[in-house]
Amino acid sequence: MKLVTIIGARPQFIKAATVSRAIAAFDDITEVIVHTGQHYDANMSDIFFDELSIPRPDHHLGIGGGSHGAMTGRQIEAIETVLMAEKPDFVLVYGDTNSTLAGALAAVKLHIPLAHVEAGLRSFNRKMPEEINRILTDHAADLLFAPTETAVRNLKSEGLPAERQRLVGDVMYDAALFYRERAKEPKWFEGLSVQKGNYILATIHRAESTNDPACLTSILQGLAQADAPVILPMHPRTHARIREFDLEVPEAIHVVPPTGYLEMIWLEMHCAAIATDSGGVQKEAYFHGRPCITLREQTEWVELIESGWNTLVGADTGKIAAALSSLTRPEEGKPLYGTGNAAELIVKLLYEDAQ
């Protein structure tokens, strides 16, 4: 069996690596990895692939930048060319990027079976391009690998056939377990004079958090009122907006350089709590047993809200400050994202379906 995996953003490489490791257990499965180039990242060097044990792409399309329509259209054209040459038995896509949708459309137009990892996620905010990408991909896919029971309910509510749905758990949990032992302390941490277990880890990067100066200011002011020191790895977009708007970061916030994945895992494991606008970091907080506040009005990961691990606060200074002062660690309950074998289940189900 031959699989073509389509990915275009750094987090997708980490998710796809879990499945690639499961594929390695099969002698008769060949995987061809296609990187669209949607998110250019200078850090995706040999060190990135070696440290994270990630297979290097077989095809790098170099398509990033431009409008959503232009990018997606160019990606469809290039992916179609690869698929016609490779003739795979399945195309595998992840998540909700433009690369995900482009891979999905290229596959279905060529009548190649399509599988979607992280199927069924919904924020119910159709203004988010990611929401449109994930909905369209789900409705095009032949196999829907859902990470949670909530995701399965979403697929059912949209009338998608039950025979296409598979509840497998979350490959990000697989990744968290694998990389936990490889996490490393950032070189700059000791110089902050911040105690392990007694700081708030914050991340801010989404356009809706950073493009409005009032919104960004509210978030920074809310974080500054935390009872513990705040560590903020500064995303390039956030840094650019702070300079553009001539904003001052409060002294209570320790601004540090952007971190690599293994450093981020270490910071998550050793913090007291997390404040973020990232979907992935919300889950990683849970994986490492840390309460989280989310600087958004909606989240795809509603089970984190329902279980008390996560609190939605938006960009409201008062809500952020109040949530940070009252964070508690919920009691352990039923695992929300599987048992850490999602990748194995995905490969097994793909293999069985192709027979």
- What amino acid positions are annotated as catalytic residues? 205
Question: Which of 201-218 are b and which e, b meaning 16 or more Cβ less than 10 Å from the residue's Cβ?
Answer: bbbbbbebbbeeeebbbb
Q: Which two tokens stand for residue 225?
A: 């009122």
Residue 3 C-alpha from the chain's centroid: 22
Token pair of 158 as six digits:
């949209």
Measured distance CA(123)–CA(114) in Å, rounded: 23
CA distance 316 to 222: 7
Question: What separation in angstroms does the CA of 343 have from each of 77, 128, 238?
Answer: 29, 27, 33
Question: CB under 8 Å, gap of 24 or more: what pairs does 349-355 form?
Answer: 349/143, 349/145, 349/166, 349/168, 350/1, 350/3, 350/90, 350/92, 350/115, 350/143, 351/1, 351/26, 351/29, 353/90, 353/113, 353/143, 354/1, 354/89, 354/90, 354/113
| Dihedral, 332, 337, 339, 342 alpha carbons, nearest 10 | -170
Say if residues 294 and 221 touch (Cβ distance below 8 Å): no
Let me know how long the chain is: 355
